[in-house]
Structure 1
């Protein structure tokens, strides 16, 4: 279907809703460790969490997945949930918090347009914590297209935000 339709420019992704095996373990991660606020909890079946009092950025439920094992890595489904931090200092703060909690990272990268930390939640769902660079700093090709890449994130430079 080629009709040149484009999604409206100000469209955004509203929230992600994850099937989890254990609501308390997921809340320990998303609320206890990452710091999301619990907006509503429905017993041991579901919770809605957010940053800044929004109705919810992340929904967590056990409706079809209570006690289930993680989805196989080499199957279709969610690759990761990406959480955008407002600035580099905030990203450095969450890096330090996770490091102090000995929470394992699966990676860290400089993508030119952003700087990112990668980890898995208790159910093996990928989580990207990142900060965008200002749009005028994004790398471009000679013909003006965005030229994203994956390079090693300079953790020492990121942590200098806390000095």
Structure 2
């Protein structure tokens, strides 16, 4: 069996309004699902970003219970051509870039935080491709 990709990534957040303002209004992710006081789902390229209120999802319901805490990390892949535009977009909203890293081979990434202090990274396409 071969896994093609990670289809969904999940973050646990404290405030869905702040989450929506950040991921939808600032980063421009399309909202594809929302349940008041429980979760909001975003389209992130070909993947889906699921943002849950941990207390609500820990109770289960139609699906098994799940929850988490802490400052998690995830990376968004962009084309090399779009990388500078993403840095400008983040700066436009006064979101501090904590670090930019040169991975060698012409690949860069930069790190910033969402309202819940999750560490987000923008990476250039091709950085993790098989050689």
TM-score range, shorter chain: 0.7 to 0.9
Q: Deviations over 1:64-94 (max 9, x none)?
A: 27xxxx73x6xxxx3x111111x12322111
Deviations 1:99-130 (A, max 9, x none): 12111111111112531110111111110111
Cα distance in 1 for residues equivalent to 2:87 and 2:17:
23
2:104 is aligned with 1:84: no
User: Hey, what does 2:6 align to over in structure 1?
Assistant: 13
Matched residue, 2:50: 59
How many residues are treated as equivalent by the alignment? 119
Aligned structure 1 segments of 4 or more residues deviating by more than 3 angstroms: 133-136
1:23/1:44 contact within 8 Å kept: yes
Pick the structure with greater CA Rg. Answer: 1
- Unaligned stretches of 5+ in structure 2? 57-68
Q: Which runs of 5+ in 1 are unaligned?
A: 1-6, 139-145, 147-163
Tell me by how many angstroms 1:133 deviates. 4.2
- Deviation for aligned residue 1:44: 3.0
In the TM superposition, what are the counterparts of 1:74-153 in structure 2 within 5 Å?
Answer: 78=72, 80-85=73-78, 87-112=79-104, 114-133=107-126
Distance 1:20 1:130 in 2: 23
Aligned residues: CA RMSD: 2.8
Higher strand content, 1 or 2: 2
* TM-score of the aligned structures, taking structure 2 as reference length: 0.76
2:38 matches 1:45: yes
